[in-house]
Amino acid sequence: MKIVDLSTDTTIKQINSEFCIVGSGPGGGVLAVELLKKGINVTLLEQGGDYRNSDFSETVDKFNIEGDMDVSFGHSRQVGGSSNLWAGRVSKLEERDLNRHSSEGWPIEYSELEHFYDQALKILNLSNHHHNNNLNLFGFDSKKLDTKEFKWSSPPFNVKNYIFNNKSIFKGELTIYTHAKVASLNENDLLSQINSLNVISPTGKKIKVFSGTFVLAAGGLETPRILLNSKTKNKKGIGNDNDNVGRYFSTHPKADIGFLRTKKWLRTKNSIFTNHKVRNEFFRHGVGVNENLCELNHYIQISSALEYEFNNLFEIMKKIPFAKLLPKKYIRIVDRLGLMIFNLFGKLSYLQPLARSFKLRIFLDQSTNRNNRVLLSKALDKTGINKVDIHWSFSNNDKKTLLEFVKTINKEFIRSDFGLIKSDILKGKELKLTAIHSHFMGTTRMSNVEEFGVVDQNCKVFNYSNLYISGPSVFATYGYANPFLTIVALSIRLSEHLSKKLI
């Protein structure tokens, strides 16, 4: 394995590779490992380096958001991508998420994705076991509600560590180029194949990368940005003949919606209210609504007042720009400390063993909406490449299903004599959502037909024989689940398709 830092190595003029992946997060890093284990030589291009770089102004120019919404932008340009920042909590998409009755839905069966979920969970060192629903411990029984489960390991799975820990079993050769900003792609005269891509180093040097196969795994903002900036021969950008690149953007909006006031004092040492551990994995449950009662797939997390207050303080602390205030060598320490504190808050219910008042936080699915999009800005970054603008709204249908969801849960709590939700949304008021944060999905969506998407069922860009996309940008719908596990599952699936083609 070889690592080349383009911020210091000024001798490179051209890179020739067998297989090129852009981005080293879960979409690119896991794919690279799977291919390397099969004997394929991989060149991995990463825009960042070893340390966190979360300055979104290098990518985004403007946020155009309808309504009174918050932006809490979280991402990192570094080896391992978003896995350097997250708390590690994963959940699967559900069958209802893939099988929405729409010609614009996923072109793959859920049973196939389940197979790759099993492999993804093993990579993340997690079981495929679903832990018990604990609502019934309080005498609460409802066929209209179900529980949503999240699980994670400690420390959370990190893609960079995964790459380095597996290097002894690589059958192919890996070269990682850091500080390699990909500006655009170059296509052949027939507009059917990618010949090369253009990299700009931190010193401004332009480097061409040649390869037989290219995979864009740079996330839901950078991937469409690269495609839209690739307009030497096609002024619409690569893969954008039907104006789908950058559209259908979503990030799982979220908000505090109010309180649950229960009839009885409840013991909080329960996976509905606090983090639990079984053997090597942690888990926690939230509350959702069955498919036939709500079009979209949301969930509510229930927390003790003590946990909520500390989490609120933690969110405030996260907004402090430590990356600008501290030397780089201390940023990792701050990140690790923040993760330890976050996981500790999940156990604060143990300090409050009985409670009747609980804080409710909702995590939202969204309708697929072409008007929610990422598009090129007129503003340029410091290397002269167009940034992007983000246009996003919470549609009337989103608002309707949100209200239906909260009403259904509240009615079931009341019917079962369990408790009552106190929320402004039940009074007809709109919530102030965190509209955009970190789950950048849908901007190069998967589809059976070019009319509705950018990539086919094998994640290949329509009409291009050697260009693929890996990551959350290919999601056709969103669900409530953190996209990480699905990204890993789809990366494994893509590796199987590509290895059959290449070996």
Distances (CA, A) of 426 to 75, 289, 405, 411, 454: 34, 17, 11, 11, 39
Q: Is there a contact between 233 and 441 (Cβ–Cβ < 8 Å)? A: no
Q: Mention every residue, 6+ apart, whose C-beta is less than 8 A from residue 462.
A: 239, 241, 450, 453, 454, 455, 456
For residue 329, the surrounding DSSP H or E stretch is helix 328-345
Contact status, residue 498 vs residue 491, Cβ threshold 8 Å: no
pLDDT for 76? 76
- Distances 164 to 1, 3, 32, 160, 168 between C-alpha atoms, Å: 9, 11, 11, 6, 8
The 10s digit of each residue's pLDDT in 194-251 is 999 999 999 899 999 999 999 999 999 999 999 999 998 889 999 999 999 999 999 9
**pLDDT tens digit string along 318-368?**
455 545 555 555 455 555 555 555 455 445 555 667 888 899 999 999 999
Paired residues of 389 in beta bridges: 62, 375
Q: Which CATH number fits domain 2-502: 1.20.1070.10, 3.50.50.60, 3.40.50.150, 3.40.47.10?
A: 3.50.50.60
Q: Under a CB-based contact definition with an 8 Å cutoff, are residues 253 and 369 in contact?
A: no
Domain-wise residue ranges, the chain: 2-502
Which residues does the chain have with pLDDT short of 50? Answer: 313-314, 316-318, 322, 330, 342, 345-346
**CA nearest to 226, candidates 443, 405, 501, 19:** 443
Residue 254 neighbours by CB under 8 Å, 6+ apart: 361, 362, 363, 364, 433, 434, 437
Residue with tokens 């990422």: 374
Q: What angle do CA 437, 441, 446 make, to 5 degrees?
A: 180
State the Cα–Cα distance between residues 78 and 113, nearest whole angstrom: 28
Query: Which residues are paired to 65 by β-bridges?
Result: 392
Spatial distance between the Cα atoms of 460 and 466, rounded to a whole number of angstroms = 7
Report the distance separating Cα 351 and Cα 411, nearest Å: 30
HSE of 102, CA atoms in CB hemisphere, 13 A: 15
Q: What is the pLDDT of residue 323?
A: 52
The amino acid present at 163, given as its one-letter code, is I
Q: State the Cα–Cα distance between residues 456 and 462, nearest whole angstrom.
A: 6
| Amino acid 45: pLDDT | 98
Place of tokens 């019917």: 415
Helix (H, G, I), strand (E, B) or coil at 433: coil
pLDDT at residue number 345: 46
The answer, as to whether pTM is greater than 0.85, is yes
